[in-house]
Structure 1
């Protein structure tokens, strides 16, 4: 897989996929409020397993081209991006201007991590 996708891109792809799983693990249950909490916890753990199966290789591969701080920054930006889509599409919650502005400030901060 690493021969097809460059090591600068592969971690980002894997982190994006892992964040889809993690977002469902952490927030997917909000549509099922009648489900007992213990069931939600166990299902979330099961979903999170697949997140780890993607995130750990993403960081291992990514650390060959990115610093740990850069990997964490990529992960946070990917998390916010995935969450906005999830929140709007799955939870049907509006993305407000304040949310966009707040995330933009985070993105500006992330840019400083990559300035070198």
Structure 2
């Protein structure tokens, strides 16, 4: 149960992270957003990122072997990176119609999957 809970919380965390980091780029052209000073854009993004940490911190605590979880520190990080790139790809293709998924992106994902394989190899 802990592996699924950890990964699920990492997915939710990364959804918030992606919206905080890149969602504001999609808001360009919205009159209310374009008039905000840079400081308020930062505060806006950090208010979204706050929810990232609500899920990220417990996910790492639950998943870490040192706390009775199933994953080593390195495994947690690699899982988080794969989740992050997957969530980002779905976000970019859904919200930014100008982006296309190319063969080199696929190869990068293959490399990440290989990283997961090797990090779990004993």
**TM-score normalised by length of structure 1:** 0.89
Q: What residue ranges of structure 1 are gaps of 5+ in the alignment?
A: 1-5
2:73 maps to which residue?
A: 68
Is 1:12 aligned to 2:7, yes or no? yes
1:90 maps to which residue?
A: 95
5 Å-filtered alignment, 1:47-66, equals 47-63=48-64, 64-66=69-71
Contact 2:78 2:115 (8 Å CA) reproduced: no
Deviation per CA, 1:71-95: give whole Å up to 9, x if none: 1111000001101100000122211
- Classify the secondary structure of the residue corresponding to 1:65: coil
Is 1:99 aligned to 2:87, yes or no? no
| 1-structure distance, mates of 2:56, 2:25 | 23
5 Å-filtered alignment, 1:41-52, equals 41-52=42-53
| 2-structure distance, mates of 1:85, 1:36 | 29
Runs of 4+ in 1 over 4 A off after TM superposition: none
- Which structure is larger by alpha-carbon Rg, 1 or 2? 2
Aligned residues: 111
> Which region of structure 1 is more displaced relative to structure 2, 69-78 or 102-111?
102-111
Is 1:114 aligned to 2:120, yes or no? yes
| 1-structure distance, mates of 2:96, 2:41 | 16
Is 1:25 aligned to 2:20, yes or no? yes
**TM-score normalised by length of structure 2:** 0.85
Task: Specify which structure has the higher proportion of helix.
Answer: 2
